[in-house]
Amino acid sequence: MKFLVCISNVPDTTTKITFTPDNKEFNKAGVQFVINPWDEYALTRAIELKEAQGGTVTVLNVGEADTEPNIRKALAIGADDAIRVNAFPKDAFFVAQQIAAIAKDGGYDVILMGKESIDYNGFQVHGMVGELLGIPTVAPAMKLDMSGNTATLEREIEGGKEIVEVSTPFVASCQQPMCEPRIPNMRGIMTARTKPLKVVEPTGEGARTEVAAYALPPAKQGVKLIPAENAGELIKLLRNEAKVI
């Protein structure tokens, strides 16, 4: 079984978000980047399935050279090799085209990624890749089991879940509680240094969308405190002042 796990490089979840003076780009200065937390579910589950029934796990990132530390981290967690498409990930469609091209060339059976990236929050790439390849997508998946070429997944829908069975090849976008994401151990970190990381140039058409400007949400007015003894007063304020109940 050939697993392809797509990872994106995102600001650490504690990052205070700021933008460049023209508001066109995220301000990377001093920011720590991590593997997108949703992608960690995809990565760990692929490694678990490979350990259980054999195969290989390739990680794929569309990004410039500064994403390599996190690609190495994915190798340290247990992926076998890596591919970096050397390009700024302009939009979801641009990224999806790169993933689809590599998935097709490499004959991958299972293409996994996180539900969405925590920076762009697109929740789009999985469906685009599935459609470009003409194969099913299961999104978002909370559980993934495999038996031979058949996968059983739990797909979250609003208010419940669907149990879905698909055969390879397919795409799934992953979320909790699929597995407990692994962290690298010392041996993993040592071996990751010598695992292959191939860099390729992008293909396909360009992007279909463009960010005109970023903005921060308006700041809160400040909290109105109600003494605990008088807790019932809060409910009156919610009705008469905030008008939400």
Partner 1 sequence: MSVLIVVECDGGEVKKSSLEVASYGSQVAQLLGTSATAVAVGEATEANLAKLGEQGIAKVLYDNEPRLKDFVNGAYTKLIAAAAQQEDAKVIVLANSNIGAAVGSRLSVRLQASLATNVVELPKTEGGSFTVKRGAFSGKAFADVKLDGERKIIAVKKNSIEALHEAGKTAEVVSFSAQLTDADFADAPKQVVMQDQAGGILLPEADKVVSGGRGMKGPENWNLIEDLAQALGAATACSKPVSDVDWRPHHEHVGQTGITVSPNLYIACGISGAIQHLAGVNSSKVIVVINKDPEAPFFKAADYGIVGDVFDVLPKLTQAVKELS
Question: Which parts of this chain interact with ligand FAD (CB under 6 A)?
Answer: 13, 37
Please report how close the Cβ of residue 244 comes to partner 1 at its closest, in angstroms.
4
Q: Which stretch binds partner 1 (CB under 8 A): 55-63, 71-79, 158-166, 193-201?
A: 158-166
61 near partner 1, judged by CB under 8 A: no
> What does 147 interact with, of ligand FAD, partner 1, none (CB < 5 to 8 A by kind)?
none
DSSP calls for 124-165: -HHHHHHHHHT--EEEEEEEEEEETTEEEEEEEETTEEEEEE
Cβ neighbours of residue 112 closer than 8 Å, sequence gap 6 or more? 3, 4, 5, 6, 42, 43, 45, 46, 144, 171, 172, 173, 174
Please report how close the Cβ of residue 40 comes to ligand FAD at its closest, in angstroms.
9
The DSSP 8-state label assigned to residue 65 in this structure reads G
Interactions with partner 1, residue window 18-47 (CB under 8 A): 19, 26, 37-38
Q: Is the CB of 6 or the CB of 82 nearer to partner 1? A: 6
Map residue 94 onto helix, strand or coil. Answer: helix
> What does 221 interact with, of partner 1, ligand FAD, none (CB < 5 to 8 A by kind)?
partner 1
x-or-dash string of contact with partner 1, 198-227, rule CB under 8 A? ----------xxxxxxxxxx--xx-xxxxx
Number of chain residues interacting with partner 1 (CB under 8 A): 75
Whole-number Å distance between alpha carbons of 2 and 63: 22
Whole-number Å distance between alpha carbons of 198 and 213: 34
Q: Is the CB of 213 or the CB of 228 nearer to ligand FAD? A: 228
Q: Is the CB of 35 or the CB of 82 nearer to partner 1? A: 35
CA distances, 60 to each of 7, 70, 85, 146 (Å): 6, 11, 8, 21
Q: Is the CB of 25 or the CB of 51 nearer to partner 1? A: 25
Nearest to 99 by CA among 204, 207, 209: 204
Interactions with partner 1, residue window 163-192 (CB under 8 A): 163-166, 175-177
119 near partner 1, judged by CB under 8 A: yes
